Amino acid sequence: MKIKNLKLNGVTALAPMAGVTDKAYREICKKFGVSYVISEMISAKGLIYNNENTFKLMEISESERPTGIQFFGNEPDIMARACEIAERFKPDVIDVNMGCPVPKVVNNGCGSALMKNPELCYKIISSMVNSTSTPITVKIRKGWDENQENAIEIAMACEEAGASAITIHGRTKSQMYSLTADWQIIKDVKNTVSIPVIGNGDILSAYDAIDMLNTTNCDMVMVGRGSLGNPWIFKEINEKIYLGKKPKPPSVIEKVDVMLEHINTLCKYKGELHGMKEARKYVAWYIKGLKCAAKFRNEAGKLNSFNELLDLSRRLMKENKM
């Protein structure tokens, strides 16, 4: 599929996840064959006010490309200015967050709050499109709540404003992450717009991915929580689709090796002290389902150094008879 002039090989995308999909995470998923990755959401205002932490979030490594940067914000001028500044980081795509349900984002009129105002959505996209030649895309939900399910209207407004693709998560803002995602709305949006549609919500296996592609006819599937501690999901989806191979879970050794590689890269980018604090949640995700996972998860919550992680890994493997 193509996002404007950008050709994407394959059908899988990594969902933007704040506090999760940093450069190290995106690189690991790329190693396992994801076709397209997106940054955590980044404040457009933070960027234009030269916030140093915001600049760090913008960094992209060559090995992870093609990469989208996701902005949140609600002022067309600021969003456009952020696109101009973003050019120095050479994102392949700039995505707009119109789906975040978190109060501190929504209460500032950003994220899914934008879906209450289709005219503003149109203005934001059109001013961004006019400010840069980088493709502009948008990620939406099904609507604000069950009384305002307007994904189709928003998708049409964004397409008309010049968006090059749309991702839709089949839940309303009010649902947050509860209940199951409604894939029918993905199909409806796909049937309405001419630009590519990326389907999102509840893909936890290669079978789910194929199911979503078949039932909604979307152009690409986006995986979020299904990739936590499980970058293999992208390899499994590709192997199932292109080779007809049945997914085979990774061995304990493989899990530990990939976890160590991931955390090592994280520490390289963020420094060991900061990196290991962030590593705690990733370790807990990687070891889920292994023998004595609860005990090791407890320990993971106190990790301070990479050496401590090496020690934990050795004991984890022993416990799992490796």
Ligand X SMILES: Cc1cc2nc3c(=O)[nH]c(=O)nc-3n(C[C@H](O)[C@H](O)[C@H](O)COP(=O)(O)O)c2cc1C
Contacts of 161 (CB under 8 A, 6+ apart): 121, 122, 123, 124, 125, 126, 129
Looking only at the bridges linking them, the beta strands covering 6-7 and 2-3 are: antiparallel
- Which of 100, 110, 158, 267 is catalytic? The answer is 100
Q: Which residue's CB atom is positioned nearest to ligand X?
A: 224
54 binds ligand X per the rule CB under 6 A: no
Work out whether 70 is an interface residue with ligand X (CB under 6 A): yes
Asked if 101 interacts with ligand X (CB under 6 A), we say no
Smallest distance from the beta carbon of 259 to ligand X, in angstroms? 18
Q: Does 18 bind ligand X (CB under 6 A)?
A: yes
Residue type at position 112 = S
In the complex, the smallest distance separating the C-beta of residue 191 from ligand X, rounded to whole angstroms, is 21
DSSP string, 209-277: HHHHHHHH--SEEEESGGGTT-THHHHHHHIIIII-PPP-PPPHHHHHHHHHHHHHHHHHHH-HHHHHH
Q: Does 15 bind ligand X (CB under 6 A)?
A: yes
Q: Does 64 bind ligand X (CB under 6 A)?
A: no
Which residues ranging from 219 to 248 are in contact with ligand X (CB under 6 A)?
Answer: 223-226
Please give the Cα distance from 175 to 137 (Å, whole number). 23
Query: Applying CB under 6 A, does 134 fall inside the site for ligand X?
Result: no
Q: How many residues bind ligand X (CB under 6 A)?
A: 22
Q: Which of 202, 208, 219, 236 binds ligand X (CB under 6 A)?
A: 202
Sheet with 165-172, side-by-side order of all strands: 12-14, 220-223, 197-200, 165-172, 136-143, 93-98, 67-72, 37-43
Interface pick for ligand X out of 33, 46, 199, 201 (rule CB under 6 A): 201
Per CB under 6 A, the list member of 40, 188, 219, 299 interacting with ligand X is: 40
203 binds ligand X (CB under 6 A): yes
Least distance to ligand X from the beta carbon of 22, Å? 11
Interface with ligand X includes 199 (CB under 6 A)? Answer: no
Nearest one of 159, 143, 130 to 98, comparing CA atoms = 143
Q: Which of residues 151-190 bind ligand X (CB under 6 A)?
A: 169
The residue written with tokens 């370790």 in the block is: 283
Q: Does 97 bind ligand X (CB under 6 A)?
A: yes
> Least separation, in Å, of the C-beta of 318 and ligand X?
32
φ, ψ for residue 132 (rounded to 5)? -150, 160
- In SS3 terms, 174-218 reads as CCCCCCCCCCHHHHHHHHHCCCCEEEECCCCCHHHHHHHHHHHCC
Q: Where are the alpha helices (DSSP H) in 132-181?
A: 151-161
Residue 60 and residue 57: Cα distance in Å, rounded? 8
Contacting ligand X (CB under 6 A), which of 30, 81, 139, 235? 139
The answer to the question of residue 143 lying near ligand X (CB under 6 A) is no
- Token output for 119: 């005219």
Nearer to ligand X by Cβ, of 32 and 313: the residue is 32
Q: For binding to ligand X (CB under 6 A), which residues are involved?
A: 15-20, 40-41, 70, 97, 99-100, 139, 169, 200-203, 223-226
Active site amino acids: 100
